[in-house]
């Protein structure tokens, strides 16, 4: 159902469209290639959709998908009203989250080895 939420937030682009628009490889995940502003917009969209589904007791795939889309569209409209950059036009980070995690783990291992030498 994230696809409908993406479509609302990204002006009609589904996950595949976002992937292509951002020039991501097939193995790269959209969420791993977002900066903080874009990630925050998506998190807000997801949490507000979840709350609305629960609060209004929305059931069924069609109604849930419609809710995902409408909430995504409202978040997009708010970004527009505030003069913000549309999510699909935000730059992707230099490094994706997976690369940063690998580098951090590598640094921890090196640091751990250095600390052991000091003991």
| Pick from 2-6, 39-43, 65-69: least confident | 2-6
Residue 115 pLDDT: 44
The mean pLDDT of 6-25, rounded to a whole number, is 94
pLDDT at 39 exceeding the cut of 50: yes
pLDDT at 37 exceeding the cut of 70: yes
| Confidence (pTM) | 0.78
Closest CA to 71 of 39, 106, 44, 31: 44
Question: Alpha carbon of 66 to those of 45, 69, 91, 96: distances in Å?
Answer: 13, 5, 28, 30
More confident residue, 91 or 103: 91
Residue 110 pLDDT: 63
Residue 26 pLDDT: 87
Closest CA to 8 of 80, 97, 68: 68
Q: For residue 58, with 0-12 CB atoms within 10 Å meaning exposed, 13-18 middle and 19 or more buried, which class applies?
A: middle
């Amino acid at each position: 159902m994230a696809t409908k939420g993406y479509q609302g937030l990204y002006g009609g682009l589904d996950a595949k469209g976002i992937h292509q628009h951002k020039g991501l490889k097939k193995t790269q995940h959209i969420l791993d290639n977002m900066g903080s502003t874009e990630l925050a917009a998506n998190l807000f969209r997801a949490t507000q959709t979840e709350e609305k589904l629960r609060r209004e007791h929305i059931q069924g795939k069609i109604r849930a998908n419609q809710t995902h889309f409408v909430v995504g569209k409202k978040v997009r409209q708010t970004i527009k009203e505030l003069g913000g950059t549309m999510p699909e036009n935000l730059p992707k980070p230099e490094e994706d989250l997976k690369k940063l995690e690998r580098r951090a783990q590598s640094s921890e291992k090196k640091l751990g080895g250095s600390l052991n030498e000091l003991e």
